[in-house]
């Protein structure tokens, strides 16, 4: 938007700056600073434009880890009923598993999950229609309307006259038609990238469920 001192937008005009963005559409936007009445005889409204790029949807997170997991807990000196898992102990000094704990498992301590998902990407937007209604006000609260300019399409900029000796201090922009274009994905699959950084290997000698419950009965 440009404000002109001359009628019919006959001069180059000055760019009208806004103190904040129109979010959400339709709320009052203050000009920064206000355009005084003696410098505001006409206004040029540029056509609305479509976004030049599409933003991909929210990025994905890597799938949860699967497999067998172990948790080392202090030994309490007794087996407990209702335990959904195997009871495990450390191997002997020579690495062997003592009788009754012959199920041998090796785990690695997880230090950091460094996996990420590769981002999705979109092509340029195609199509779409945008038609805006622009309301100009002489005050920063958008109470005293000067001009209502309706049906501004995407074709070309338009010049409008302004009431004599009226400042420009506030603007409202409302979409009469807001039909976004469509974007085709250029990257159709998100892949898992990166690794799980593992630490020291730990060996556990585990009993079977039958042995556990057999000891409980005894």
Comparing 40-44, 58-62, 82-86, which segment has the lowest mean pLDDT?
Answer: 82-86
Q: Stretch 89-118: mean pLDDT, rounded?
A: 87
**Which residues lie closer than 8 Å to 184 by C-beta, 6 or more apart?**
122, 123, 126
| pLDDT band at 23; cut points 50, 70, 90 | low
Is the Cβ–Cβ distance between 175 and 83 less than 8 Å?
no
| pLDDT band at 21; cut points 50, 70, 90 | low
5 versus 50: the higher-pLDDT residue is: 5
CA separation for the pair 15, 46 (Å, rounded): 11
Note if the bond before 24 is cis, omega within 30 degrees.
yes
| 213 pLDDT above the threshold of 50 | no
> Tokens standing for 164?
């004599």
71 versus 215: the higher-pLDDT residue is: 71
User: In this predicted structure, what is the pLDDT of residue 57?
Assistant: 75
* Burial of 129: CB neighbours in 10 Å, binned 0-12, 13-18, 19+: middle
Instruction: Write a three-state SS string for 115-164.
Output: CEECCCEECCCECCEEEEEEEEECCCCCCCEEEEEEEECCCCCEEEECCC
Q: Stretch 4-33: mean pLDDT, rounded?
A: 86
């Amino acid at each position: 938007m440009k404000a002109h001192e001359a009628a019919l937008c006959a001069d180059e005009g000055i760019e009208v700056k806004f103190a904040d963005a129109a979010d959400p559409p339709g709320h009052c936007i203050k000009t920064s600073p206000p355009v005084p009445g003696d410098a505001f005889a006409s206004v040029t409204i540029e056509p609305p434009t479509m976004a030049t790029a599409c933003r991909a949807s929210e990025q994905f997170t890597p799938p949860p880890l699967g497999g067998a997991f172990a948790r080392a807990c202090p030994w309490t000196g007794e087996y407990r009923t209702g335990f959904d898992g195997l009871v495990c102990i450390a191997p002997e000094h020579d690495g062997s598993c003592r009788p009754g704990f012959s199920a041998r498992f090796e785990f690695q301590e997880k230090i950091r999950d460094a996996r990420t998902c590769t981002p999705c990407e979109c092509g340029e937007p195609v199509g779409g229609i945008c038609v805006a209604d622009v309301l100009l006000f002489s005050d920063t609260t958008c109470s005293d309307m000067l001009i209502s300019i309706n049906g501004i399409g995407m074709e070309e900029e338009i010049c409008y006259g302004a009431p004599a000796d009226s400042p420009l201090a506030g603007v409202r922009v409302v979409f009469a038609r807001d039909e976004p274009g469509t974007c085709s994905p250029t990257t159709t699959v998100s892949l898992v990238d990166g690794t799980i950084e593992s630490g020291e290997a730990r060996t556990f000698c585990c009993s079977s469920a039958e042995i556990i419950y057999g000891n409980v009965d005894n």
